[in-house]
Chains A and B, each alone.
Chain A
Amino acid sequence: MPIEVINLNHSYKEGTPFSKQVLFDINLSIKEGEFVGIIGPTRSGKTTLAQHFNALHIPRLGQVLIDGKDTKDKQTDLVTIRHRVGYVFQNPDYQLFAPTVGEDIAFGPLNQKLSREDTERRVREAMSQVGLDYNTLHNRDIFALSGGQKRRAAIAGVLACRPNVLVLDDITAGLDPRGREEILTVIRDLHHHQNITTIFISNSMDEVATMAERIIVMDRGRIIMDGLTRQVFARFKELQAIGLELPEITVLVNKLRSAGFNLPAEVLDVREALGLITAALKEMEANR
């Protein structure tokens, strides 16, 4: 399901003295099956932009086309759009509202008017996809879950709707490294096996670098870069200037570079760096 954004502007609290414009002339298009990362410092408008993708925000100025349908158009069925574009909120507490895990995950399928049995099946499936054990957890009180389990439950609640597009709003915040890696693996698998269009919002460059094929960089409500991951990271000086932290491995490689190692500037992956550094060392050894 392609997404097209044309000249989008957005203000909060419009018509009040507190009115504040948060998006300025946004233009972008996301093709079916793409994996796009959106990065930017806090308050750069990432969440506001992403909430236009599933029609939680309707543009007043500009247009958002989901699968060719204008969300502003009265004829457009917004409910269908919201089922097909799944949105995982920044904070699972914003998203989970039912008393138990099972009920919360079943909320979407039940709204799609699925039968009890089908819903049950979807809940089981979604829970196993995110690595939550159905038998022990589906009756568990939401508040009794750990932070990591809440994240998973929130993702499961969205997956149970069987979306074609997945919007993930900073879903690894507050997770420990292992929990983070597990969640990211789930997301990668979904994208590879089911070809789900994925929009991954984060302010961690480390994550985006290893996940996304294409990166959109936002700053103060504007898109300032949009391109392939490597191309974007090659402009690391600009990224640092708006307050983004480069991936740790990129920082290390650049330090080595300035110390005289023969290495490229835009290395994003630890394994790749390992190979390059070993090669560089060997080369230096040979020259000696």
Chain B
Amino acid sequence: MELTKNITLGVYLPGKSFIHKLDPRTKIIAATIIIILLLLSRSYAAFALSALFIGSLMILSGIPTGYALRGLKPMLPVLVIMWIFQLFLFKEPGANVYFHWWIFEATEAGLHMGNLIILRVLFLFTVTTFLTLTTSVVSLTDGLESLLKPLRMIGLPSQELVMTLVIALRFVLILAEELEKIIKAQMARGVAFDQGNFIQKTRKIFPVFLPLFIGAFKRAEELIVAMDARSYTGGKGRTKMKTLHMGRVDLTAAAGMLAYSGLLIYIIISTEPMI
């Protein structure tokens, strides 16, 4: 029983690559731009370019591609269900019909819609995972805080917001560990999580949730005590141990991003959308 093995979101993989050395702000801005462009992409050519770009970044970073994509494994059944729903239920008048039964119709439009949604989810997940894999929690916090600082003027508690976000990210892994413990405890007393078909397995998951949530609340409470004990009072008056500096690598990265964005926007405008 090892659940944490397949969780890559929120995990940091230390390294010495060009990507690891970038200022966290550069990486956050770049990831945001990539995500916005992905949401605007509607053609296969645009996704192909993004795949090429992200793929080469991954090779540059030295992060094993297999590991970066491993986090997708648990999501696979959900993605397949989403795809099937789109295929059969998305309707557009005048679209090519492949298959027809009762109220279900598999159309060409549905197929493309399904593909589009799956591609978006896959890419969004990969980009965010890639960001956390190459950026430690500390620098992620520093970067986000520094980027959101101007919003303090309009009364946005940026430091607190970032702290919440980072804690949420950490809790992905903590909850998975907690879940693993509960499953082990129940397995040890006779629940066969590892036996039975898909539906039987899914049904056994429900009695796990109650203790999981109780455990999560307990963890949150412990965290509050730990933060209080170290006199955490929010962002006001906090200083930084490490200050952020942009360097030549960041400039190179900006140039690379500019080239990619320009090319992608050109493709988005000029190619026929899939739907």
Interface, chain A (partner B; CB < 8 A): 12-17, 51, 54, 56-57, 78-79, 82-83, 86-87, 89, 94-99, 107-108, 111-112, 157-158, 161
- Shortest CB–CB separation between residue A53 and chain B, in angstroms? 11
Contacts of A157 in B (CB 8 A): 189
- Shortest CB–CB separation between residue B206 and chain A, in angstroms? 13
- A79-B190 CB under 8 A given contacts A17-B13, A17-B67, A97-B182: yes
- A56-B189 CB under 8 A given contacts A78-B194, A94-B181, A97-B211: no
Q: What mask results when residues 187 to 203 of chain B are scored 1 for a CB within 8 Å of chain A, else 0?
A: 11111101100000000
B75 within 8 A of A: no
CA distance A190 to B273 in the complex (A): 73
Contacts of B211 in A (CB 8 A): 97-98
- A82-B5 CB under 8 A given contacts A16-B67, A95-B185, A97-B182: no
Interface, chain B (partner A; CB < 8 A): 1-2, 4-5, 13, 63-64, 66-67, 70, 181-182, 184-192, 194-195, 210-211
Contacts of B181 in A (CB 8 A): 94
Choose from A12, A99, A111, A161 the contact partner of B191 (Cβ within 8 Å). Answer: A111
- Across chains A and B, the number of contacting residue pairs, with CB separation under 8 Å, is 66
Contact A82 B185 (CB under 8 A): no
Choose from A57, A86, A87, A89 the contact partner of B1 (Cβ within 8 Å). Answer: A57
Contact B192 A79 (CB under 8 A): yes
B64 to A, closest residue via Cβ:
A17
CA distance A51 to B187 in the complex (A): 11
Contact A83 B5 (CB under 8 A): no
Contacts of A51 in B (CB 8 A): 184
CA distance A165 to B125 in the complex (A): 45
CA distance A99 to B213 in the complex (A): 12
Contacts of A89 in B (CB 8 A): 184-185, 188
Q: What 10 pairs between A and B have smallest CB-CB spacing?
A: A111-B190, A97-B211, A108-B189, A87-B188, A95-B185, A94-B181, A79-B192, A13-B5, A107-B189, A16-B67
Q: Would you call the interface of chain B mostly helix, strand, loop, or mixed?
A: helix
- A82-B189 CB under 8 A given contacts A12-B2, A14-B5: yes
- A15-B190 CB under 8 A given contacts A56-B184, A94-B185, A97-B211: no
B182 to A, closest residue via Cβ:
A97
Contact B190 A82 (CB under 8 A): yes
- Shortest CB–CB separation between residue B10 and chain A, in angstroms? 13
CA distance A112 to B181 in the complex (A): 21
CA distance A56 to B190 in the complex (A): 11
Choose from B5, B187, B191, B210 the contact partner of A15 (Cβ within 8 Å). Answer: B5
Contacts of B194 in A (CB 8 A): 78
Contacts of A161 in B (CB 8 A): 189-190
CA distance A4 to B185 in the complex (A): 23
Contact A56 B1 (CB under 8 A): yes
Given A13-B2, A57-B1, A107-B189, 4 more pairs with CB closer than 8 A: A12-B2, A82-B188, A97-B182, A97-B211
A88 to B, closest residue via Cβ:
B188
CA distance A83 to B190 in the complex (A): 6
- Shortest CB–CB separation between residue B245 and chain A, in angstroms? 28
